[in-house]
Amino acid sequence: MLVFQKLRGIWVARGLEHDLAVEGRSLESVMDLIRRLVLAHVAFDRRHGRAPLSPFGAAPQRFWRAFDRATRLPALKSSDGAAGSDLGPITFALSSEFPAEPMARSAFDRSLGRGSHAGLVARPGRPVH
């Protein structure tokens, strides 16, 4: 699990192998919330005869790269004491970076060829700004 501060006072815990995420007001709260969310989904999947967490694919690569650079925290037990709830330890890593989504390019940016100079060609009779 990757843990990072999204904004001042807003923490995020994000699963990597299974793309689950929670937000909270403290590091401790998001670590507990993500553990409880995983346990709830595992219990639901088992009740319905599915592989645990199978509906959730992997997180985008930017979160994996942030995890590789992050500081490892002590692992937490995943068990809540209920029979069959122990999934083994949950590994957390604290990132000092916010792995933001790449900025979406607008249709205007694409038409101008932003990122290259393709859209900055002067057209006859039109000034270049």
Which residues are registered as beta bridge partners of 5?
11
Tell me if 31 sits within 8 A of 75, measured CB to CB. no
Please report the pLDDT score of residue 74 as a whole number. 87
Amino acid at 105: R
> Cβ(94)–Cβ(4) under 8 Å?
yes
pLDDT of residue 100: 78
Nearest partner of 88 among 41, 47, 38, judged by Cα: 38
Residue type, 44: F
Q: How confident is the model at residue 125 (pLDDT cuts 50, 70, 90)?
A: low
Over residues 48-88, the pLDDT tens digits come to 999 999 999 999 999 999 999 999 998 877 665 554 555 77
Which helix (H) or strand (E) segment holds residue 23: the answer is strand 21-24
Q: To 5 degrees, how large is the angle CA 109–CA 113–CA 114?
A: 60
In one letter, which amino acid is 23?
E
User: Phi/psi at 47 (nearest 5 deg)?
Assistant: -60, -30
Return mean pLDDT, the chain.
Answer: 82
Contact criterion met (CB below 8 Å) for 2 and 67: yes
pLDDT in the model for residue 119: 45
First-to-last CA distance in the chain? 47
Specify the pLDDT at position 89.
85
pLDDT of res. 110: 58
pLDDT tens sequence across 90-112: 899 999 988 877 766 666 555 55
The pLDDT of residue 32 is 94
pTM value surpassing 0.75: no
